[in-house]
């Protein structure tokens, strides 16, 4: 049976929820005797039972720990900043569901947004990432790094892919037999990559790949690329 999941902690065999999480629990219309799952963000998931619930008080206790399989494949997404930052708001839940480990916003030549504007969005993006783990039931939220200039990135993954609309020959299929634990992928924004950026990323070890003959929107390219990466490399 699937139970709703909330974020909180266990202290002295008692469940403690923040005011916001307690509100979410009440919105779910849970009542005395009902069960729910608790993620303590320390790698533990508990099955909990409500003993008492009122307008301002929750008494619940953990019954057992639930085994949770942690993602082995680490995927870092380097994403050129789009000219509408709200597009990243919309992407974050999908990245959470697909198991992306880290999002690194990158300021590229076709990025029209200033770094300070991006930094102001970080807290909102972190909150979206945190809330999305309750639905997809992953252990830890997507990590979101502060924005970087393209020249400052330094990925250290086992393999690195650059999904590039002008690449016509190499595709992901040619690499699916490789055994890797960590992958970095780089995807451009609405304007795509400049040729000098592609050359720079190739020197950094990124392999240009095609996602097909059609030109995809950034959001479509991200979801397609990550889903294909998981299909190829996940055990």
**What average pLDDT does range 91-120 have in this prediction?**
93
Q: pLDDT band at residue 91, thresholds of 50, 70 and 90?
A: very high
CA distance 225 to 164: 11
Share of the chain above pLDDT 70, in %: 100
Is 222 in contact with 95 (CB distance < 8 Å)? yes
Of 65, 92, 112, the domain-final residue = 65
Q: pLDDT band at residue 89, thresholds of 50, 70 and 90?
A: very high
Its pTM surpasses 0.85: yes
- Statement to judge: residues 105 and 167 lie in one domain: yes
**What average pLDDT does range 125-134 have in this prediction?**
94
Position 75 scores a pLDDT of: 97
Of 168, 166, 161, 165, nearest to 229 by C-alpha is: 161
- Statement to judge: residues 88 and 165 lie in one domain: yes
- Statement to judge: residues 54 and 142 lie in one domain: no
Residue 140 pLDDT exceeds 80: yes
Let me know the angle formed at the C-alpha of 91 by 100 and 180, rounded to the nearest 5 degrees: 20
Domain that holds residue 91: 74-233
Position 36 scores a pLDDT of: 95
- Statement to judge: residues 80 and 61 lie in one domain: no
Of 104, 106, 102, nearest to 75 by C-alpha is: 102
Of 22, 39, 65, the domain-final residue = 65
Question: For the domain that residue 94 is a member of, what is the CATH number?
Answer: 3.40.1280.10
- Statement to judge: residues 46 and 141 lie in one domain: no
**What average pLDDT does range 122-128 have in this prediction?**
96
Q: 114 phi and psi, to 5 degrees?
A: -80, 155
Question: For the domain that residue 19 is a member of, what is the CATH number?
Answer: 2.40.240.20
Share of the chain above pLDDT 90, in %: 80
Residue 112 pLDDT exceeds 90: no
- Statement to judge: residues 78 and 61 lie in one domain: no
Q: What is the pLDDT of residues 32-82, one digit of tens each?
A: 999 999 999 999 999 999 999 988 889 999 999 998 877 789 999 999 999
- Statement to judge: residues 186 and 203 lie in one domain: yes
Residue 207 pLDDT exceeds 80: yes
Of 65, 88, 110, the domain-final residue = 65
């Amino acid at each position: 049976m699937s139970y709703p999941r909330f974020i909180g902690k266990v202290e002295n065999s008692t469940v403690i929820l923040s005011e916001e999480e307690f509100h979410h629990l009440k919105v779910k219309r849970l009542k005395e005797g009902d069960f729910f799952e608790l993620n303590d963000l320390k790698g533990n998931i508990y099955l909990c039972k409500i003993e008492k619930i009122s307008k301002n008080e929750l008494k619940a206790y953990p019954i057992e720990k639930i085994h949770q399989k942690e993602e082995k494949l680490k995927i870092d997404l380097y994403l050129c900043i789009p000219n509408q930052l709200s597009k990243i708001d919309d992407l974050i839940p999908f990245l959470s569901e697909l198991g992306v480990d880290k999002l690194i916003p990158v300021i590229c030549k076709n990025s029209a947004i200033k770094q300070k504007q991006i930094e102001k969005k970080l807290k909102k993006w972190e909150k979206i990432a945190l809330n999305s783990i309750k639905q997809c039931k992953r252990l830890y939220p997507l990590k979101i790094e502060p924005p970087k200039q393209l020249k400052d990135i330094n990925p250290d993954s086992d393999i690195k892919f650059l999904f590039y609309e002008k690449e016509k020959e190499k595709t992901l299929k040619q690499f699916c037999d490789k055994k890797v634990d960590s992958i970095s992928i780089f995807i451009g924004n609405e304007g795509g990559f400049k040729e000098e950026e592609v050359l720079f990323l190739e020197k950094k070890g990124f392999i240009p790949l095609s996602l097909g003959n059609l030109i995809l929107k950034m959001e479509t390219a991200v979801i397609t690329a990550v889903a294909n990466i998981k299909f190829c490399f996940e055990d």
